[in-house]
Amino acid sequence: MREPVEAVEACPISPVVDVVFSRWTTPILWVLKEHGRQRFVEIQRRLSGITPKVLTQRLRQLERDGLVIRSYHAEIPPRVEYEISDLGRTLGPVFSVLTEWSDAHLANVEAARRAYDEADRRVR
């Protein structure tokens, strides 16, 4: 009998998926990529539904991962801005490919879901 394989061995992109595609991470990176340097409240306005606590956590994680740069300006009142880093910008082609895939196939996924849900309702 074979030993279980760790997720990273089974799928070498798992760590990348964990970093880039956790909830709210991709939308934050997208906002910063599309709109440039943003203050916290500007990011929050562009992402309806995200709480300040979650936005703070995600931004800190993205900064830790090197995907976002946080700039503190010692003014009165203090000003903090966030921008996508050079490393974060390297995800641009990944986002482009995912956008193309979405444009080409998301309708098929939605149709498959509807068909599955309809068949599931009939079985019950």
Summarize pLDDT for 21-33 with one digit per residue, the tens: 888 999 999 999 9
Of the given ranges (9-13, 57-61, 62-66, 102-106), which has the lowest mean pLDDT? 9-13
**What are 89's two structure tokens?**
């910008």
pLDDT for residue 8 is more than 90: no
**What pLDDT, on a 0 to 100 scale, did the predictor assign at position 10?**
78
Q: Give 43-53 pLDDT, tens digit per residue.
A: 999 999 999 99
Amino acid at 56: T
Q: Is 89 exposed, middle or buried (0-12, 13-18, 19+ CB in 10 A)?
A: middle
75 burial type by CB count under 10 A (0-12 exposed, 13-18 middle, 19+ buried):
exposed
Name the more confident of 3 and 48: 48
